[in-house]
Homo-oligomer: A and B are copies of this chain.
Amino acid sequence: MSSLRSLYASDGVQIGGNMDVDYVVHYKVSNDKAEAAAGFTQLIEALTRVGLATEVRYGDSDSLLVFVKVASEKHLTNHIYRERVQDWLYGVRITTPNKDLAKEFADQPVTEAERLRTVYLLITKHKSEGCAGIAPKVGLWKDVESIFPLHDLAFNRRWIQQWSTKYFLDDKDLDQIRDKFGESVAFYFAFMQSYFAFLIFPAAFGFGAWLILGQYSLFYSIVSSLWSIVFFEWWRKKEVDLAVQWGVRGVSRIQRPRVQFKWDHEAVDPVTGEAVKVYPPMKRLQTQLLQIPFAFGCLAILGALYVFCFSIEIFLTEIYNGPFKAYLTFAPTIILSGLLPALSTILSSFAEKLTDMENYKTTDTHHSALVRKLFIINFITSYTPLFLSAFVYMPFGNLLVPYLDVFKMTAEKFSSEESITTQGFQINPGRLKSQMIYFTVTAQVVNFALETVVPYVKRKAFDEVKKVQYKGKSSADIDVPEEHEFLERVRHEALLDTYDVTVDYREMVVQFGYLSLFSSVWPLTPLCFFINNWVELRSDAVKIAVTSKRPIPWRDDSIGPWLDALGFLTWVGSLVSSAIVYLFGGDSNGPGGDPSNIATSGLLLSILLSEHVYLAAQFAVRYALKQMDSPGLQKEKAERFAIRKQVLEESLGPEAIEKPLPPTPQVGEKITRESLEEQARQISMNGGGTPEKLFWLRQQGMDETIQMGQRLIVQATESGN
């Protein structure tokens, strides 16, 4: 592991810099020489036109590396400043950008993430926005394989070293990630860190429950559900807070238009007053309704596969006793691991097509819609085996097994021997638990291996093949010696995978689902996840630093659609875990083999009850959390208030906020009622005096009113007696 080793190299070793390169464009040379040359010329012209300097180097036998950096720092700061102004216009940023550019950038220095994001946008955004409009692999730019920034090796080394020696990450660590890789990646690590910290409680409690309460414990299940609610609601709040602290709240609304968006007509944007491209939301809604048949389709297809494999498995392991049993028991696993990825891929690409049809305007909404569909597929593939065991095999096993004779008959048909021996069917009460252990331990370890080891091995093998293929001219011959090491590194990075944070979120959300839905089956689940996630957090860091290209530092203001997925899992968890506890918990402590043993109404009642307890608890937790201070939101409000106050004082002067002073009260001379009425009469005789004027003239000033009132009080009390 050359690059992994480099991370752990002793501090003395010099680590190569990035030659001030902002981005590398990996340009594939197509077979048509002339076309390749023309495309290349266009690429360089487009980049130069927006103020980027370029250098080209030999990539490998069929690609070039175009190095890009900003030609003039002033030009870049102008762009960044414009982005900041945009943020402010759309309400993402609260404080007005300073008029004085130098002061603005002194107050809020440009982070590496901000710089790289701006340059990336400069390269990829549409020409009409004054950018180069280079979209990798699309249309005119089909030969542009990828556009990626270079890893900061010194930082990566420090990062991995630091994280592998500490238990908890703090805000400083997250800020570091944010400055290097953008808020999108930082949000993932913030979520992971929170989830990891929150897991301490169920890990400890689960361990206790495992020792004392055993499985299917009602008490464990209630505590675990409550924990899910608290965690979910807490994160919902924390997420907003982080977005405010990082100055990205609301950024998902204004971000990145989708290149593939098709519009129906143009209209005036009611907010900005500019002409915008519109696709009628009702038309989109109609397409979105297709999600319902899609979900049922996924359930039918994947469900059928699972039921089929499940039936074979039951038949082979627990009924069949004939020849080749030892080998045949692997059959369902082989079928499943062969067909499941294929089916998942087909359904995922179908989900992508569906999302394309929904025709979203921004990449963020598109991505959310896609994630929602992928979540459906993941939900079904991840939890169906456990659902089948818990709600079909365990309660109805005895009833359904006779139907499995169809396999026996099939087997007999193909078998030359007459007799397929079968053994009597016994429901295996440990099945659910062993499945759960498989998902919490084995699967996580396998996943870890798939995530870290496999990409490395793949890369290594690929490199070897390349070396063997082109023995003739090596890059060392072509490169200038001083640059060779650097260029070799870039060539290596160009071939790494693109980091996709969605994959990591998906893994964690699926894990959270096991916890929320089935952890009462095996209370050690949270402990295993706790240990796994300590490793996961670090291995994800290694994945970014070593086995992936450096990610484009996108901004984000939340974990997006995954939040809904978490909320959904918490909810379903309240239903499923209560059903499991009702079915298998209690005194009997074993699974009821016969369906008549199970009072359906009892089951339904327990589900109904637990769901409403869940909703009430959620309401209460949400309310309680709302009462607590939220530093980020408070900061935001305070800033907003301060700015308004400042604007006010600047434009109106400080006295605008002061209390107005009342006019000094008139003090009248001593009067009698008669003199007053006399006065009024005089006014009326003099021709002036509307009734209103007269009314208000009877008592002039405070003292007269008081005198008059006191006289009336005396009268009133007299007549009252």
Contact = CB atoms under 8 A, between A and B. Distances in A.
Interface in A447-503: 470, 472-473, 478, 480, 482-483, 486
B659 A129 contact: yes
A589 interface: no
A63 interface: yes
A650 to B, nearest CB: 10
A41 B706 contact: yes
A605 B600 CA distance: 9
A45 B706 CA distance: 8
A78 B648 contact: no
A357 interface: no
Contacts of A89: 641, 644-645, 648, 657
Interface string A680-701: 0000000000011011101101
Contacts of A170: none
Nearest to A16: B691
B714 A33 contact: yes
Given A75-B663, A82-B659, A717 B20 contact: no
A245 interface: no
- The bracket for how many chain A residues form the interface is 35 or more
Nearest to A82: B660
A492 to B, nearest CB: 18
B720 A624 contact: no
Interface in A351-384: none
B53 A696 contact: yes
Contacts of A63: 716
B55 A634 contact: no
A29 B716 contact: yes
A592 to B, nearest CB: 16
Contact of A629 (B31, B270, B478): B270
A470 B719 contact: yes
Contact of A36 (B19, B59, B605, B713): B713
B652 A99 contact: yes
A119 B516 CA distance: 57
A695 B483 contact: yes
Contacts of A273: 638, 642
Contacts of A659: 82, 129-130
Could you say how many copies of this chain the assembly holds? Answer: 2
Interface in A44-94: 44-45, 48-51, 53-59, 61-64, 66-67, 69, 71-72, 75, 78-79, 81-82, 85, 88-91
A27 to B, nearest CB: 8
Interface stretch (A279-287, A392-400, A430-438): A279-287
A45 B702 contact: yes
Interface string A306-335: 000000000000000000000000000000
A692 to B, nearest CB: 5
A29 B721 CA distance: 12
A10 interface: no
B48 A665 contact: yes
A657 B656 CA distance: 31
Nearest to A470: B719
- The CB with the most chain B CB atoms within 10 A, among A56, A641, A645, A708, is that of A56
A99 B648 CA distance: 9
Given A281-B628, A716-B63, A482 B694 contact: yes
Given A608-B607, A705-B54, A713-B36, A692 B660 contact: no
A54 B702 contact: yes
A89 B642 CA distance: 9
A120 interface: no
A51 B701 CA distance: 11
B271 A641 contact: yes
A553 B40 CA distance: 71
Contacts of A97: 652
Contact of A50 (B64, B284, B662): B662
B62 A716 contact: yes
A615 to B, nearest CB: 9
Nearest to A54: B705
Nearest to A603: B601
A412 interface: no
Contacts of A260: none
14 contacts: A33-B713, A36-B713, A40-B709, A44-B706, A56-B699, A56-B705, A61-B719, A63-B716, A66-B705, A89-B641, A89-B644, A91-B640, A97-B652, A281-B627
6 tightest A-B contacts by CB?
A: A51-B662, A281-B627, A78-B660, A130-B659, A604-B604, A601-B601
Given A17-B692, A44-B702, 6 more contacts: A29-B720, A40-B710, A50-B662, A51-B663, A56-B709, A601-B601
